Structure 1
Amino acid sequence: MEMGKNKSEKFSMDFVMAGMAAIVSKSTAAPIERVKLLLQNQGEMIKRGQLHQPYNGVGDCFKRVLRDEGLFSFWRGNQANVIRYFPTQAFNFAFKGYFKSIFGHSKEKDGYMMWFAGNVASGSAAGATTSLFLYHLDYARTRLGTDAKGCSINGQGKFNGIFDVYRKTLSSDGIAGLYRGFGASIMGITLYRGMYFGIYDTIKPIILVGPLEGNFLASFFLGWSITTVSGVCAYPFDTVRRRMMLTSGQSIKSWSTCRL
């Protein structure tokens, strides 16, 4: 009984500490994240009249945001990103075990393909289910992060915080407006999970052998490389879904109509 209580307390402490670390890291990286959102969506922003002149790279974007909106604007939308962390981790923890029990297979008993398909299916299902509950926060973050100062959208002013995003979106599009781009998001999650597991399981037995077996740096760089490659391949889906988010209140409803 005492052991179970200690494990529960340790888990709670680890969860809180991880959350605090995530808040610090997300807040530190928020300026880069906002610049990324602006560069990623500037084509759609120009079409909507929210941006008059395209950004000429990362440096120009940083300079213009600082000049036109001020230093603190780099953290615009970070509140939604921080709020999203705790429920995301809680849902992932709950759904991961559930879907693993449904789709999980043993590599030794069922074979590589069944094990691989089970990992992709359980990971995608967990990610999709978590997104179903929390996608609206990512939507709010994207709308705030791409809300450049000094421009109007269809005669409306810019959003005045996260609750204003919800109010205006629900007024114009209903709940569906908060989930614009959800389908493209699920496609991206599935592709990312499939590539990550497929590449990692294929390359690990080839590279991490001999003196590199159990080597921390080798494992780190392998994981980092595979994560980067998988992220790059799935990135177009992220661009499509975010540009679809910006179409709430407009006639574009299908992700296939979004021009990159």
Structure 2
Amino acid sequence: MDVNARSSPSFQTEINWDKLDKTKFYLVGAGIFSGLTVALYPISVVKTRLQVADHYAAEKNAFSVFRGILRTDGIPGLYRGFATVVTGTIPVRIIYLTALETTKVAALKMVEPFKLSEPAQAAIANGAGGLVASLCSQSVFVPVDVVSQRLMVQGYSGHANYSGGFDVARKILKSEGIRGLYRGFGLSAITYAPSGAVWWGSYGSSQRFIWRHLFGSDQSQHAPTEGMIVAVQAAGGIIAGATASCITTPFDTIKTRLQVMGHGDNKPTARQVVKQLIAEDGWTGLYRGLGPRFFSMSAWGTSMILAYEYLKRLCASND
């Protein structure tokens, strides 16, 4: 049984990886996901500013940060670093999606002999896929993340100004070498690998749970409508985003601060960042930006999964 298929051909809700036209999948996918990035990028800017703000910053919540950006920089301020992100994430997504789907297939074959329930199999296979995909894509993603986040916070709360992504990369390489582009790599892996595992695991298992709740154990007699499939996928995306954001926000906050604060001998360590956050706001300081991150992961996750599933249907080969 494939983790992406129901117990009957009439109940197939996803397209298997081996049934996709890969060239069309990558080309069309680049356009679709770039469009989603345009829509959701401002949320990332607001989240990042909240995470790096000091205790005395006037802007204490997401709305005030959003309003402050519009007041000082207008709409362009919400898209600082966007060109770097949209260009850099194309190869990241190719690596990510390929690793995700191939790992899901391999993981499912490994767990089949254990005769687990379908939601459990889906959680393990999807979770393994998300974990491996996140780890494989970090080598490209982290430098893009470092550069884009410096652009997001430039001129804010004492942070340096840059003329663009290449200027950020040049200055980092000059002052810190190649290691500077990989600041926070370990925390990125700790953040995104479990986040990917939790997100995809939650998405896979919640989908199966919802289908089983709707149709019971005998699913072969039912054929869901297109609207029902989309609704269940959207619900799975919301559940997955909520779960992953609550678990991984502290790691994301620490990682963001490490990547944008200090330089040379003034670079803070992870322990120093944690101490400073706790000293300023208590343990809740580790959850700075939780609201925007929660909304971002839920909105991005739901939009992404609906676009992703649509993309797979669109790119299904006729073989």
TM-score tier (shorter): 0.7 to 0.9
Which of 132, 135, 158 lines up with 2:139 in the alignment? 132
Mean alpha-carbon deviation: is it higher for 211-220 or for 97-106? 97-106
- 1:55 maps to 2:62: no
| C-alpha contact (below 8 Å) 1:152/1:158 kept by paired residues | no
**TM-score under structure 2 length normalisation:** 0.64
The structure-2 alpha-carbon separation of the partners of 1:237 and 1:88, relative to structure 1 and needing over 3 Å to count, comes to same
- 1:254 maps to 2:269: yes
The structure-2 alpha-carbon separation of the partners of 1:102 and 1:255, relative to structure 1 and needing over 3 Å to count, comes to farther
Mean alpha-carbon deviation: is it higher for 224-233 or for 237-246? 224-233
Which of 42, 47, 55 lines up with 2:53 in the alignment? 42
Structure 2: gaps spanning 5 or more residues: 1-18, 278-319
Distance 1:218 1:122 in 2: 20
Mean alpha-carbon deviation: is it higher for 214-223 or for 130-139? 214-223
Distance 2:199 2:246 in 1: 11
- 1:95 maps to 2:99: yes
Tell which has more relative contact order, 1 or 2 (C-alpha 8 A, sep 6+).
Answer: 2
Distance 1:220 1:66 in 2: 31
Specify the alignment match of 1:13 in structure 2. Answer: 24
Any idea what SS the aligned residue of 1:256 has?
helix
Distance 2:196 2:41 in 1: 25
Any idea what SS the aligned residue of 1:158 has?
coil
Which of 174, 178, 188 lines up with 1:175 in the alignment? 178
Specify the alignment match of 1:235 in structure 2. Answer: 249
| C-alpha contact (below 8 Å) 2:150/2:168 kept by paired residues | yes
- 1:221 maps to 2:232: no
Specify the alignment match of 2:7 in structure 1. Answer: none
The structure-2 alpha-carbon separation of the partners of 1:111 and 1:165, relative to structure 1 and needing over 3 Å to count, comes to farther
Distance 1:176 1:252 in 2: 12
| C-alpha contact (below 8 Å) 2:127/2:199 kept by paired residues | no
| C-alpha contact (below 8 Å) 2:135/2:193 kept by paired residues | no
Q: Calculate the aligned-residue CA RMSD, in Å.
A: 3.2
| C-alpha contact (below 8 Å) 1:180/1:248 kept by paired residues | no
Once the 2 structures are TM-superposed, how far is the Cα of residue 37 of structure 1 from its aligned partner?
1.4
| C-alpha contact (below 8 Å) 2:81/2:152 kept by paired residues | yes
Distance 1:139 1:248 in 2: 13
- 1:208 maps to 2:211: yes
Any idea what SS the aligned residue of 1:208 has?
helix
**TM-score under structure 1 length normalisation:** 0.77
| C-alpha contact (below 8 Å) 2:69/2:78 kept by paired residues | yes
Distance 2:124 2:66 in 1: 42
Distance 1:240 1:158 in 2: 22
